[in-house]
Chain A
Amino acid sequence: DQQVKQNSPSLSVQEGRISILNCDYTNSMFDYFLWYKKYPAEGPTFLISISSIKDKNEDGRFTVFLNKSAKHLSLHIVPSQPGDSAVYFCAASKIRGSTLGRLYFGRGTQLTVWP
């Protein structure tokens, strides 16, 4: 059973516009959320994270929003650039508890930013 879901396998956005990638989760015990970016033939690289005590975290062009009541998070990229074209994975973790450190990943969303 997929505890973290990314329902859009792909997203296409024009350069300079906003990219919004969405992620839903089912387990209310998750309290830490991460986004990873993956280029072809490379491993996923950490992008940004958010703790469940916050509803927003910003780092440059990247902002992650968390809506705990809806069990939903989103990643906003503004402005989008062609170099942002990659697969984006959403991941969740239970910081407290026996599965310390384990991440639960979504299936990923392929973002394409066109000029």
Chain B
Amino acid sequence: DAGVIQSPRHEVTEMGQEVTLRCKLISGHNSLFWYRQTMMRGLELLIYFNNNVPIDDSGMPEDRFSAKMPNASFSTLKIQPSEPRDSAVYFCASSRNQPQHFGDGTRLSIL
């Protein structure tokens, strides 16, 4: 079975541009988690969904960040406008109960 699929794997863009990260859940999973990993803060949870409904978005750093689940198998994380301090590796993970299964991440660089 395919795992969690994230795209793109790498994104380099200029400050002020809109960035959209994509995630495809494992079939049958009903929970979706977006994480950000940085040297300073480690692996931090941004937002998570259960059955397509956002449960906790308290980790979303600012209004510039938004996440959606347009259907049960797909999610997007959007940053608009992007800033250099948003540079990090962004992971999504899906689960049905435990454990969570992670994608390989998107390495985002904002110049």
Given contacts A43-B91, A89-B43, contact A101 B99 (CB under 8 A): no
Measured between beta carbons, the chain A residues less than 8 angstroms from B42 are 105-108
Name A36-50 residues within 8 Å CB distance of B. 36, 41-46, 49
Given contacts A43-B91, A100-B50, contact A34 B102 (CB under 8 A): no
Measured between beta carbons, the chain A residues less than 8 angstroms from B97 are 101
- Is A93 close to B, CB under 8 A? yes
Q: Is the CB of B104 within 8 A of A41?
A: yes
Q: Is the CB of B43 within 8 A of A108?
A: yes
Q: How many A-B residue pairs have CB under 8 A?
A: 55
Count, chain B residues at interface, CB 8 A: 22
Q: Is the CB of A101 within 8 A of B98?
A: yes
Classify the interface of chain B: helix, strand, loop or mixed.
Answer: strand
Measured between beta carbons, the chain A residues less than 8 angstroms from B99 are 34, 36, 46, 49
Per-position 1/0 for A16-45, Cβ under 8 A of B: 000000000000000010101000011111
CB B4 to nearest CB in A, in angstroms, measures: 7
Measured between beta carbons, the chain B residues less than 8 angstroms from A32 are 98
Q: Is the CB of A102 within 8 A of B4?
A: no
Enumerate 30 A-B pairs (CB-CB under 8 Å) in ascending A order.
Answer: A32-B98, A34-B99, A36-B102, A41-B104, A41-B105, A42-B104, A43-B4, A43-B91, A43-B93, A43-B103, A43-B105, A44-B43, A44-B102, A46-B99, A49-B98, A49-B99, A93-B98, A99-B55, A99-B56, A100-B50, A101-B33, A101-B95, A101-B97, A101-B98, A101-B100, A102-B48, A102-B56, A103-B33, A103-B100, A107-B43
Q: Which 8 A-B pairs have the closest CB atoms?
A: A43-B102, A46-B99, A107-B42, A105-B43, A101-B31, A43-B104, A44-B102, A43-B103
